[in-house]
Amino acid sequence: AQTVTQSQPEMSVQEAETVTLSCTYDTSESDYYLFWYKQPPSRQMILVIRQEAYKQQNATENRFSVNFQKAAKSFSLKISDSQLGDAAMYFCAYRAPEKLVFGKGTKLTVNP
């Protein structure tokens, strides 16, 4: 069974600085998708970034980028120039092929 592990229950960062959230996963599949979702308190879960496993190039979306290491089954999220609005729960998720399997999440606090 596929599993997703987020080893950092909580992280904090100073505003304008950079933070990296870790994620590892376990799968025997070769073609799959990985996602980072953001869930602000009492608000909707929204997609931050996604990565196709067959692409070697790391995905980037503005201040958000990933470090995808397929052989190591690692998928970390880097947030640059952190903003107060980045404070939220961040969930790493794996999809192959029909449903998402989530990690337990990392709570990110952004300090002014």
Partner 1 sequence: DTGVSQDPRHKITKRGQNVTFRCDPISEHNRLYWYRQTLGQGPEFLTYFQNEAQLEKSRLLSDRFSAERPKGSFSTLEIQRTEQGDSAMYLCASSPTGRFSGNTIYFGEGSWLTVV
CA 112, CA 110: separation in Å to the nearest integer? Answer: 7
- State which residue, 70 or 101, has the beta carbon closest to partner 1: 101
Q: Which residues of 21-42 are buried (b: 16+ CB within 10 A; e: fewer)?
A: bbbbbebeeeebebbbbbeeee
Chosen residue from 25, 48, 88, 103 binding partner 1 by CB under 8 A? 103
The reply on whether position 75 binds partner 1 by CB under 8 A is no
Binding mask 4-23 toward partner 1 (x if CB under 8 A, else -) reads x-------------------
Of 61, 112, 68, nearest to 94 (Cα)?
Answer: 68
Name the residues that contact partner 1, by CB under 8 A. 4, 33, 35, 37, 43-47, 50, 91, 93, 95, 97-105
